[in-house]
Amino acid sequence: MAALLVLSLVAGGSSQESGGGVFTARLLALPLIAWGSWLLLAKRSSDVAHRAGNVQWAWLLFVAALVAIPLLQLWLPGSLAGGEGRDALSRDLQGFGVHAPAHWSLAPAATREAGFALLPALAVFVLTLALPTQAQRRLAMVVVLMALASLLLGIAQLGAPQESALNPYPQWQPAMNGFFANPNHQATLLVVAATLACSWLATAIGRWPEGRPHRVAVIAASALVVLLAAVSLPLTGSRAGVVLFILSCGVVVVGHWPSWRGGRSGRIMLAAGVALAGFALLAALRWMQVDSVDELRAPLRAVTGEIAARFAPFGTGVGSYVPVFEQESPRELLMGEYVNHAHNEYAQWWLEAGVPGLVVMMLGAAALALTVRGLWRLPAHDRGLGVTALVALAAILAHSIVDYPLRTPAMLAVAAALAGIAAAQAAQTDRGRQQIRLPVDTDNRQYLARD
């Protein structure tokens, strides 16, 4: 499974191109999905805490609904979709003697490609959900190591020519892209790595278990990862990445505080986390004001919403954004370069999937809420891994408001791994408590008391 995650990161850094590496990852995902499903069923049958499975089932329902959308769009007839935009398109096509779109999706080939793109992430999620905690920790370390590898590759790319073998996307000018075509997505991966490393740093400083060695090494390595991310993020040109880095580190420190509160180091770490989170929120508000005035992203999101309303309630088909936007956008947005994404994942899903897409997003929000509740019910010293994965996942989801990291197979696989870790940890709620609730007769309890 780690091999699938690494392959997705190395080969899946573009939202538009898919080569041999991405194709291999999709083929590898098929048996891994079956294997992970079998492991989950076996784990479910031996789990004594049946209530703990609610979190996992909520996530599995969300994933099933997400996969069902492209399948339905390829199968259902277009006459059922409706919408003002689709009716106008059908009339225009009839004027040229062309039949109306036969299926729900206006771009069946793109929708089919989008469905296949979900396979590696689905395999990563299912297998991560079935892993034991120690293996999930190692998987988090793999994510950090791959982020560092992408960072080192990005630094090398800065000094290499455009056609260098170090640049996996030579059609773009050299930048600190790493494995990605877009430097903003490199920033997203660095934010995830920094969040994981900041959690290890907070644990090593605030509450390191007695007798466990290598505390100094963990502090040094974690601090180095956080420092490298802090120095490198401005070089990617992503303002959102810088803001999310500060906010995520602050939130993850605050999230760990209940496990080591009471000591002076704990109070210092809490104050630092609150200060970082507050500063990041102020910076985010300022950045959003600049974004809305000086960039094209705000008009893109607004026009995307208008087009989505015309094709409601069932959307245009997953993956159909580029041709639909070119056809429906106002003349003011006609440019020499085509618009490849809405730079808002949620607005683009509303356009491409309509009301079913909103339902899927609501299912995802419900799964996140159940995960938060499950993690909150865990003992403070047991929730660290799940809280960290949830904060890192939230950073990706927040970046998706102004960008499209989840449209790349690389970041989609990382998000799937983080979701699997958070869901698996939250599902442990009350498991230990259920296992120790054994009947004890009064006479035996009195005999043990006398002893």
Domain boundaries along the sequence of the chain: 2-429
Please tell me whether residue 19 adopts helix, strand or coil conformation.
Answer: coil
Tokens 């370390």 sit on residue: 141
Task: Name 262's Cβ contacts closer than 8 Å, sequence gap at least 6.
Answer: none
Helices (H), ranges, 295-408 = 297-310, 321-328, 345-377, 384-399
280 near 247, Cβ under 8 Å? yes
3-state secondary structure of 339: coil
What is the pLDDT at residue 266? Answer: 62
The residues of the chain scoring below 50 in pLDDT are 48-52, 292-294, 430, 432-451
Q: Render 138-189 in DSSP notation, one character per residue.
A: HHHHHHHHHHHHHHHHHHHHHTS-TT-TT-S-TTS---S-TT-SSHHHHHHH
pLDDT at 269: 65
Q: What is the pTM of this model?
A: 0.88
CB of 414 within 8 A of CB of 179?
no
Q: Tally the C-alpha atoms within 13 A of residue 292's C-alpha that lie toward its C-beta.
A: 8
Q: What is the DSSP letter of 47?
A: -
CA nearest 168: which of 159, 177, 407? Answer: 177
Q: Which of 315, 420, 437, 435 is nearest to 55 (CA)?
A: 420
pLDDT at 207: 74
pLDDT at 254: 81
Percent above pLDDT 90 for the chain: 45
